Structure 1
Amino acid sequence: MTGLADRLGPDKVKLGVCCTLWWNDDFPAIDAGVSFEQAVSEMALAGFQGCSIGHKYPADPAVLKAALDLRGLQVSEPWTSTYFTVSRMRQKTVAAFEETLAHIGALGGTELVVAEFGASSHLLPVDVFANRPVFTHAQWDALASGLNELGKIANSAGMKLSYHHHMGTGVMTRAEVDRLMASTDPALVHLLLDTAHIAFAGDDPLDLARAHADRIGHVHLKSIRPEVVSRVREEGLSFQEAVELGVFTVPGDGAIDFRPILEVLADADYRGWLVVEAEQDPNKALPLACAKKARAHLADVLGW
């Protein structure tokens, strides 16, 4: 068997990093005052090729693209929340998606990431497990139909749509990811494999990667601290409290072994972004140090 450097080399994958190492887009109070310019400079300094889009980024795509080009960075993904499972939100969801598509197109990006946030508990100050939504059959049908529609829109623009399973939402567990994959068109809806969100939910990221290797269109690589997961479950903590306690961390730290997961991706001839992510408090976890640790770990595992 050839090494990962051959099967997941820079000719096949690009390494990105999410701006959630520098600040939190869900909870803006989790912030150490790092500017957009400092964050993207540190991303490049740590050795990454691209980044996600965050709330501190310039809204004008020309200004943003110039800043990223200066640092040799591309946009790995934008984020759009969907609301297909709640009333009277389909049209607004599609309109927001089309707006994001136009924005990412102006930046030269080709990846679109979505997650269904209808009735999600992850933004609320409540037990993230006990209060997450459980979709009805009608809601599942509405979600699948809506995602297929977005996938058609993305494909027609030469872009790829990937669905992000997420803590506190109705697509959080392995069983729910399986159902979503079974109910959507493989040509239209791909899977964003988030190693930490599925582990936090109580399932195995390696098993999920194996089960849906042919559907994975985007990857978020982050790890978890099991002792924090246990505390969240036992004390009924919110998602924000979990983040602030350090439930997530970067590859090279925490409990997830990334080598076998990357082997699965290599075996499936995965091509696309591998994006480091860790929703951490930048006041406690120095962003540049974490980014460099993650990049060094990937260099060790991938061989480049």
Structure 2
Amino acid sequence: MSPVPQPPVSPLSRIRVGSAPDSWGVWFPEDPLQVPWRRFLDEVARAGYEWIELGPYGYLPTDPRRLAEETARRGLKVSAGTVFTGLHRGPAVWEDTWRQVARVASLAQASGAGHLVVIPAFWRDDKTGEVLEDRELTAAQWHDLARQTERLAHEVRERYGLRVVVHPHADTHVAGEADVARLLDATDPDLVSLCLDTGHYAYCGGDSVKLIETYGDRVGYLHLKQVDPAVLARVRADDLPFGPAVARGVMCEPPTGVPALEPVLAAAQDLGVDLFAIVEQDMYPCPPERPLPVAARTRSFLRSCGA
């Protein structure tokens, strides 16, 4: 019997796939457990990616000319820079926050990127689990978070031409469905967009497809990763902080975890706008030989989805 012909995979023409230092186990500017930056650039290109993020400031070269030379000769382009902020702490933190943001935004702009990924501060230490502040924000802190995020987005757009996308993240005050809805409802859609990280959102109990369908006009960027449900259940039972959870393998290689990425990508494509979908395979720390095969298999999987 002849095999039944399969319909061709619809190309996700609006989705631009990339990867990031995070997928090579890079969380810090310098760390003996991380691969050197040249190896990351060599291997991310070998794995079949065209776009990258800057990662933690200082990991890749911070001289724009040198960075441009290193990326160009490997056929790579930069999609975004990333910053951590504690904007819920009020105007008193603005100056320190802006100094950190400006250096990353300046390098991102010089590298041709169009986005700045903004991650809220952790409420507990992501390694030790030490509680740094209350898990829940007060009404006043939510007000400060919304207003200062708008201010940051305005200043970054005006000075550097970058679009701010806020990244809900485990062990921060913007994590699950209720937090995301509250922030989006409290901020100007013209200024504040969302970086939907499928892994973090699932980690915190959210449904990525539902979020795209509900707040599609606010989704400006994607991070692709998956969660191992069995490991996540143990992480929740033990109330582990995010760092030890990653070391335990809570974030797993696609397509073995949740959420399924095919419907997420299809929902994103249906928005009718161009979106970056950057693979972030959290696995710090990891052996230096592990990232490349995982990254290559993930790129092949995403191609099979049409991306």
Q: What are structure 1's unaligned runs of at least 5 residues?
A: none
Corresponding residue of 1:21: 23
Taking the aligned partners of 1:4 and 1:181, their CA distance within structure 2 comes to: 31
| Cα displacement (A) at 1:127 | 7.7
Residue 292 of structure 2 corresponds to residue 291 of structure 1: no
Q: Deviations over 1:95-141 (max 9, x none)?
A: 32222221111111111110220x5225241289x976211111111
The amino acid of 1:154's aligned partner reads V
Corresponding residue of 1:77: 80
Distance 1:59 1:158, change over 3 A: closer
| Cα displacement (A) at 1:13 | 3.0
**Do the aligned partners of 1:127 and 1:236 also contact (CA within 8 Å) in 2?**
no
Q: Deviations over 1:250-292 (max 9, x none)?
A: 3323232111111111111131211011111322881011101
Taking the aligned partners of 2:130 and 2:234, their CA distance within structure 1 comes to: 12
Corresponding residue of 2:68: 65
The amino acid of 2:113's aligned partner reads G
Structure 1 residues 131-146: aligned runs within 5 Å: 133-146=135-148
**Do the aligned partners of 1:171 and 1:177 also contact (CA within 8 Å) in 2?**
yes
**Do the aligned partners of 1:132 and 1:168 also contact (CA within 8 Å) in 2?**
no
**Do the aligned partners of 1:251 and 1:276 also contact (CA within 8 Å) in 2?**
no
Distance 1:39 1:283, change over 3 A: same
Taking the aligned partners of 1:284 and 1:235, their CA distance within structure 2 comes to: 29
Q: Deviations over 1:123-174 (max 9, x none)?
A: 241289x976211111111111111111112322332110000000000110
**Do the aligned partners of 1:23 and 1:30 also contact (CA within 8 Å) in 2?**
no
| Cα displacement (A) at 1:52 | 1.5
Structure 1 residues 52-201: aligned runs within 5 Å: 52-55=53-56, 56-86=59-89, 88-117=92-121, 120-126=123-129, 133-156=135-158, 157-201=160-204
1:169 is paired with a residue of what secondary structure? Answer: coil
Runs of 4+ in 1 over 3 A off after TM superposition: 26-30
**Do the aligned partners of 2:25 and 2:286 also contact (CA within 8 Å) in 1?**
yes
Aligned-pair RMSD on alpha carbons?
2.4
The amino acid of 1:65's aligned partner reads A
The amino acid of 1:202's aligned partner reads G
Corresponding residue of 1:235: 238
Structure 1 residues 205-284: aligned runs within 5 Å: 205-280=208-283, 281-283=285-287
Taking the aligned partners of 1:138 and 1:101, their CA distance within structure 2 comes to: 28
Q: Deviations over 1:52-111 (max 9, x none)?
A: 113421121211111001111111211111121225212221232222221111111111
Q: Deviations over 1:164-208 (max 9, x none)?
A: 000000001100000000011111010001001011112222222
Q: Number of matched residues? A: 296
Taking the aligned partners of 1:26 and 1:120, their CA distance within structure 2 comes to: 19
Q: What are structure 2's unaligned runs of at least 5 residues?
A: 1-7
1:51 is paired with a residue of what secondary structure? Answer: strand
**Do the aligned partners of 1:132 and 1:170 also contact (CA within 8 Å) in 2?**
no
Taking the aligned partners of 2:123 and 2:80, their CA distance within structure 1 comes to: 22
| Cα displacement (A) at 1:227 | 1.1
Distance 1:140 1:132, change over 3 A: same
The amino acid of 2:87's aligned partner reads F
More moved, 213-222 vs 86-95: 86-95
The amino acid of 1:43's aligned partner reads V
**Do the aligned partners of 1:80 and 1:96 also contact (CA within 8 Å) in 2?**
yes
**Do the aligned partners of 1:111 and 1:161 also contact (CA within 8 Å) in 2?**
yes
Residue 192 of structure 2 corresponds to residue 204 of structure 1: no
1:63 is paired with a residue of what secondary structure? Answer: helix
